[in-house]
Structure 1
Amino acid sequence: MDFGGGDEIRFERMGRAGVVTLTRPQALNALTHGMVKALMRALEAWEADAAVELVLVKAEGRAFCAGGDILAVYEGGKAGRPPVEFFADEYRLNAYIARYRKPYVSLIDGIVMGGGVGISFHGSHRVLTENALFAMPEVGIGFFPDVGGSHLLPDLGGSFGMYLALTGERIRYGDALWSGLATHTIKAADQAGFVQQLTETGEPDAVLRSYFIQAARETERPLLGAIAYHFSKDTLAGVVASLEAGKDEFAAKTLATLAQRSPTSLNVAFRQISAGLALSMDDCMRMEFRILVRMLEGHDFYEGIRAAIVDKDRQPKWRPAGLGSIGPADVDGYFAPLGERELAL
């Protein structure tokens, strides 16, 4: 089936399912604009097709999807053509997946970050194997946890979502299941049988009951308690002060992690995740688009990409360089209305 996307994404009808396979394993299945537009076209067609009872999204290689194609973002921005439309289409896709009227099953058997989270974790069934690795590491490259992070992360108990947003820490399938990010966990070796039964029957809940395994939580209870204590504070300054007063290994390690992140990104992400708790998915995406437009006009996002994947020196020079140099008015600017440029959903 050809919905566009070339050799980067494949669409098939298998039994009762529409099946999407990401086919850029050499690039860790990083999302391109063409992939986003093709996936949107396929989902719209399948939602209207009575013969398609569910959608399954999977990927080739060791990654489900490591995020968006940020090198293309860097090159476009440096050339004076920041890819605003790529993000607008991506955010529309994220919002559409969240309200999709048919079962939307994501089978995640590897790395899932950033844009990969956006095309998987807003669906009805998020199925992870022991090979899955989840992260929203955007603050480490001067960005923010977008693609619906403001809708997904605030709902995690014990301030776990705020912790993931501010640190960018990676978690495995047990923590994803415990926190509610994943709905189901299965064995990687069972994937072929799972896909066959799923597409033959069109009944994800029944099939998952036979394949589900209870993945044990990886993060120990005392550490979860520390996360809940420190990251439940009302302000970012409060989080930092709490960690500074902690004087234990977890607090020291976490402070060192935060010190490497963009101060602007940390402030924006804290405000974003706090606000998202009271917003609908559509409103979250409008808020994130406002932030996105300002990030593309700024310094830290491009500097973070430079340090991570262009020069690879891992030494970003953030501007401003310290948390104390950013005031409430600076953060407010990222959330201000865009007028005629607001995201249309």
Structure 2
Amino acid sequence: MPLRAKLDERAFTTRAQAGMDLAEELRPRPEDEADDVVVTAKAGLRTIELNRPKKLNSLNSSMIRKILPRLIEWEKSDMANVVVMKGAGQKLSALAYFGLEYKLDHYISTYQKPYVAFLDGITMGGGVGLSIHAPFRIATERTVFAMPETTIGFFPDVGASFFLPRMNGFVGTYLALTSDRLHGANVFYSGVATHYIHSTSLLDLETRLGELRFRDYDTLATRLSLINDAIEEFASGMPHDEPMHIRGELREAIDRCFRYDTVDEIINALEAEQGATKEWATRTLETLHKRSPTSVHVTLRQMRVGGKWSIAETFKREHAIASKFMQHPDFTEGVTALLVRKMAPQWQPASLEKLAETGENVTTPFFNFADFKAEDKLALLNDRDYSEYPHLVFSVPSEKEIEEVVLSGGVAGRTRQEVMTEVVNRRKGRQGIRAVVSEILNRKTSVDDKGKARWIS
């Protein structure tokens, strides 16, 4: 048999085996809940609603086995125009569950149909994986976002290695280590969400999305642009009683303290804070000392290396890291103590100081990907990949983008207003964008004697 034929046969066999493996993973189990996911179809709109309100809509294997086949089916269907995901939550389970969850999250992150996530309520753990990689992430006044994994002796997963290091400055590192919560409009201001609307408008927005009609020759970019315009139809202004939280002196303090590559240096920086941010630094120190010491160290390294991983690498490597946490006592202790015994966990080592005394580099085993058995490595559902999110024009502006606009003025320079106008126009004047750009310009630029903005490195 010719070499090419052999390779084709092997590729077919591999794909067929992967299909059988996935079919087995998605096979309903006796313990599955019947109505934990509600799926609806209306015109071109397909909606998935997580339906475990008594469990805070926490994602589990039963739900994944219902969601993933639908997404695969709709991606191939000419009848499905827009997919909306509603609900969010937390998750805990074994490695097999994490593998299935990460496959779903990667599939969503590379989905070839318009995908809209409603972050209306608690968005943590598994709910983050269902939403954070979507081109459209809509926050409301009821949204609560956090990455609480270090509180249970785990690490921020579901693709956090990709999206947290790519947040402005070291805000992602701060959120990962402390599990600090963002509420309402601040989920948008931080860049976690792409849009903000009031929760009372969500049903009308769903109806509007279902009314959209795409032409066969419309590109994905064209369809996403139409969806963006439709979402903005329901923008009723940012809430006046909820100002931007992470800004000004606090924002500068976060960068100042969380820019370091070691936990000891971060602790020292927080202890050195004075003035208006001293109280915040004191609270942050208390928080870090309550977290699993191992989780804090692993998470910090994750934040430093994850920014170089592609989206596919992210989920494969997070799966390997999760397998190491399954073997570490802090994960079992954290889950049992906080969710069962309802008391403070007893970490091993017991504290950041105890860990420092051992002189051990606790992170090394978690990032030794070479010793992960080939048969245990995560096999994703497609080979799609990227190193930066492909639809950043729908996100809030990054500091990097604004810096590039400032520097594009060359020696002559550009005024803050000129920079503001260009960045806001790129996003069609969307609500909230001006406030984000203004905060960054006030913090990261100075104005010379000619009125031109100069970037502060």
Q: Give TM-score, length-normalised by structure 2.
A: 0.69
What one-letter code is carried by the residue in structure 2 that aligns with 1:293?
S
Q: Does 1:102 align with 2:131?
A: no
Q: Detail structure 1 runs of 4+ shifted over 3 Å in the superposition.
A: 213-216, 326-329
- Structure 2 counterparts to residues 127-142 of structure 1, below 5 A: 127-142=138-153
Q: Which residue of 1 aligns with 2:256?
A: 229
- Structure 2 counterparts to residues 174-193 of structure 1, below 5 A: 174-193=185-204
Q: What secondary structure is seen at the aligned counterpart in 2 of 1:56?
A: strand
- After superposition, the C-alpha distances for 1:165-204 in whole angstroms (9 at most, x for unaligned) are 0000100132221222111000111111111111121542
Q: Which residue of 2 aligns with 1:240?
A: 267
Q: What secondary structure is seen at the aligned counterpart in 1 of 2:271?
A: helix
Distance of 2:257 and 2:237 partners within structure 1? 29
Q: What secondary structure is seen at the aligned counterpart in 2 of 1:30?
A: coil
Q: Which residue of 2 aligns with 1:165?
A: 176
Residue correspondences, number: 325
What one-letter code is carried by the residue in structure 2 that aligns with 1:316?
P
Distance of 1:171 and 1:214 partners within structure 2? 19
Q: Which residue of 1 aligns with 2:65?
A: 37
Q: 1:316 aligns with which of 339, 345, 354?
A: 345
What one-letter code is carried by the residue in structure 2 that aligns with 1:321?
A
Q: Which residue of 1 aligns with 2:310?
A: 280
Structure 1 residue 65: Cα displacement = 2.0
Q: Which residue of 2 aligns with 1:250?
A: 280
Gaps of 5+ in 2: 1-26, 214-225, 381-457
Say which is worse superposed, 197-206 or 184-193, in terms of deviation.
197-206
Q: What secondary structure is seen at the aligned counterpart in 2 of 1:11?
A: strand
Structure 1 residue 234: Cα displacement = 2.4
Q: Which residue of 2 aligns with 1:28?
A: 56
- After superposition, the C-alpha distances for 1:190-219 in whole angstroms (9 at most, x for unaligned) are 111111111121542121121124535233
Between structure 1 and structure 2, the one with the greater Rg is 2
- After superposition, the C-alpha distances for 1:55-107 in whole angstroms (9 at most, x for unaligned) are 0011xxxxx32211x3xx3xxxxxxxxx2111000011111111101111011
The question of whether the paired residues in 1 share the 8 Å contact of 2:139 and 2:185 is answered with no
Distance of 2:301 and 2:350 partners within structure 1? 19
Q: Which residue of 2 aligns with 1:343?
A: 378
Distance of 1:238 and 1:213 partners within structure 2? 44
- After superposition, the C-alpha distances for 1:310-338 in whole angstroms (9 at most, x for unaligned) are 0112x100001122426564211011121
Q: What secondary structure is seen at the aligned counterpart in 2 of 1:18?
A: strand
Gaps of 5+ in 1: 59-63, 74-82
The question of whether the paired residues in 2 share the 8 Å contact of 1:154 and 1:277 is answered with yes
Distance of 1:158 and 1:175 partners within structure 2? 16
What one-letter code is carried by the residue in structure 2 that aligns with 1:141?
I
Distance of 1:221 and 1:246 partners within structure 2? 15
Q: 1:334 aligns with which of 345, 360, 366?
A: 366
Q: What secondary structure is seen at the aligned counterpart in 1 of 2:249?
A: helix
Q: What secondary structure is seen at the aligned counterpart in 2 of 1:155?
A: coil
Distance of 2:173 and 2:42 partners within structure 1? 39
Structure 1 residue 45: Cα displacement = 0.3
What one-letter code is carried by the residue in structure 1 that aligns with 2:235?
F
Distance of 2:254 and 2:237 partners within structure 1? 23
Identity of aligned residues (%): 35
Q: Which residue of 2 aligns with 1:76?
A: none
CA RMSD of aligned residues (A): 1.6
Distance of 1:236 and 1:303 partners within structure 2? 22
Q: What secondary structure is seen at the aligned counterpart in 1 of 2:103?
A: helix
Task: Indicate how the Cα distance of structure 1 residues 234 and 298 shifts in structure 2: closer, same or farther if over 3 A, else same.
Answer: closer
What one-letter code is carried by the residue in structure 1 that aligns with 2:346?
K
